[in-house]
């Protein structure tokens, strides 16, 4: 796990080996997502969305061996990017939307991971949200903001940390950890969930940042 930011020089974009597309597996991506979840969780809750470039560990070991732990046999190493800080008065994920629309990556980056906090509601809460934003359906931005506020304020709301990843070779995965409730055992492992359709739209958006944009 590296906190060094990627750039034209520190990923070796001028003299990297041929692309390893197709070599990395869903398990490799899953391990990288576990790594970034563990890394972010050390900072507690209430953090802004964070992005990580996924770079072949062997490339980092060859160019910056001090960044790789001895015995690290992971295929991909997450490299932390600048947190997507939110300006005062800005919608929490406006900066994320801007990033997804404009980000590009140097060839050594084989994938990208995104970590963000979300609000999770039970299925029976859908009616409560509908009543919150129906009067604002003529204003998409206002209705979306109202729905978010209603979700946060709902008595059944739970906070979760979502990890979404995509590789150049098409592999995609999302993992979610629920924040322990006040009655949960603080020493118990946090529940980890996944589903093929979990955050599929975000998966596609991350994958698009790995495409060549001309």
Q: How confident is the model at residue 58 (pLDDT cuts 50, 70, 90)?
A: very high
What's the whole-number mean pLDDT along residues 185-190?
72
Answer yes or no: is pLDDT of 77 > 90: yes
Residue 7 lies in a domain: no
Greater model confidence, 81 or 94: 81
- What pTM did the predictor assign? 0.76
* Measured distance CA(43)–CA(148) in Å, rounded: 24
Could you give the C-alpha distances from 53 to 33, 47, 79, 131, 142, in angstroms and in order? 11, 18, 5, 40, 33
pLDDT at 52: 97
Residue 172 lies in a domain: yes
Considering only CA atoms, which of 58, 5, 29 is closest in space to residue 166? 29
Range of the domain at 59: 26-121+157-210
Residue 71 lies in a domain: yes
* Measured distance CA(201)–CA(66) in Å, rounded: 36
Answer yes or no: is pLDDT of 24 > 80: yes
Residue 2 lies in a domain: no
């Amino acid at each position: 796990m590296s906190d060094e930011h990627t750039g034209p020089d520190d990923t070796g974009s001028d003299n990297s080996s041929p692309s390893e597309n197709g070599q990395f597996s869903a398990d490799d991506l899953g391990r990288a997502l576990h790594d970034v979840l563990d890394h972010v969780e050390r900072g507690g809750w209430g953090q802004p969305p964070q992005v990580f470039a996924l770079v072949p560990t062997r490339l980092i070991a060859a160019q910056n061996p001090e960044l790789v732990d001895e015995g690290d046999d992971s295929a991909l190493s997450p490299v932390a990017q600048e947190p997507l800080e939110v300006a005062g008065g800005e919608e929490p994920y406006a900066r994320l939307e801007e990033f997804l629309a404009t980000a590009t990556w140097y060839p050594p980056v084989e994938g990208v991971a995104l970590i963000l906090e979300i609000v999770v509601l039970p299925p029976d809460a859908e009616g409560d949200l509908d009543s919150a934003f129906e009067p604002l359906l003529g204003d998409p931005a206002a209705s979306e903001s109202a729905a978010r506020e209603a979700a946060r304020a709902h008595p059944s709301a739970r906070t979760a940390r979502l990890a979404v990843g995509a590789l150049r070779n098409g592999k995609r995965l999302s993992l979610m950890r629920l924040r322990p409730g006040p009655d949960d055992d603080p020493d118990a492992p946090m529940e980890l969930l996944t589903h093929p359709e979990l955050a599929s739209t975000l998966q596609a958006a991350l994958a698009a940042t790995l495409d060549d944009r001309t």
